Amino acid sequence: MQLCKRRYLNDDGLKGVKAYKYSGRDDSLLYNHVLSPMAGWLVDKFMPSWVAPNVITVCGMTFILMSHLQYWYYSKGEEVGSYAPSWVHYLAAFNIVLYSTFDNMDGKQARKTGSSSTYGMLVDHGVDCIMAMLLGLNVVAAVRMDQTEAFYTMIFVTIIPAYAAVWETYQLKGMFLPIINGPNEGLLSVCLTFIWTGFVGSDWWQVEQLWGYTRAQLLVRYCFVFGVFAALSNTYKVLTHKSDEGIWPRIQRIIPELIIIGCLIVVERVSPSGIAKTHFRSLFYFFLFFHAKLDILLQTYMAASQKARIFRLSVIIPAVLFAANSVVGHYLGKCPVDEVVLLKGGLVYSLLMFVHFVLNLTDEMTTYLGIRVFSISKVKAT
């Protein structure tokens, strides 16, 4: 079993995790005047003190998963542009409200019970990272986007801004959200999109509206502008932040994510079987776990005040090999390995790789901190 063990933090990093104190600020008016007070009231009035914060986090996650499975069912797995009944959209909106509420409640429950920990912060962040991707897939299914536009929407509106935000968090040693941000106003916008889609029907998005673009296409461009703007804002803050560290080490921390994104785009552009269209969801699930591992690792190193080691061969090699297989197939007319077979094998690998990462990081941190994952009672720390 020792062969399966993997350490991600050195001794100084573990000490940093124990000493870490959350630093950040959320300037959102919606958060400060509505969401935060409501979550605090619910925790104070209804949440028993024996409920662990991580339980609340995982329960919140299940609401988004429920909607995602419903869209997956009505999309027949891979057909993003398929029809779903109105109640699916309404339920998706309601589930976002529940998810957002639970997401705000877990931290307040941790403070109420005195069980705040760096590990709990990472669980919350990891769930948010994965749920952002699934929410993006839910939106493109709800408005029945064209497969190609849905593909690039997922990259430039979901993946890039999410990683750029944690990149900024690492450099600034805290999360500082502007007055309008994704976790609050962004989720509200998505919620309203689902409600409106349920009311008018998904066909409403396919009507030509302006300059020959359908409403769904206009939505793509609107989201694209804001997603790229957010990522550029994060990048500007990272590169201009005053530090003894040079520019190149900062840039290095985003290169592995750019490799993942580049591989995704290469596959979409050159795949001889058009696998980005025929297996749209599976392709994103495959790369989702790579993105999530890099994202959570960078957040972990920030909390540990440990130098980030983001170049992970377990992530980069499979992504590059998959893209290389498509490139060779593009020039030879046939891939050396069937793309569908490779994708199915890659899905199994990426899932197991991510589970291995989560289990090892969890064991490493909970053992050192002397805490349990889903209960408040403590164990003997190392």
pLDDT in tens, 261-273: 999 999 999 999 9
Segment 208-218 mean pLDDT: 85
The predicted pLDDT at position 79 comes to 67
The pLDDT > 70 percentage for the chain reads 96
375's CB contacts (< 8 A; 6+ apart) are 52
Is pLDDT at 40 greater than 90 in this prediction?
yes
pLDDT band with cut points at 50, 70 and 90 for residue 67:
very high
The pTM is what? Answer: 0.92
pLDDT on residue 378:
61
Positive or negative torsion for Cα 266, 272, 277, 281:
negative
For residue range 76-97, what is the model confidence (pLDDT) as tens digits?
767 666 788 999 999 999 999 9
pLDDT in tens, 295-350: 999 999 999 999 888 999 999 999 999 999 999 999 998 999 999 999 999 999 99
Percent residues over pLDDT 90 in the chain = 68
pLDDT of residue 337: 96
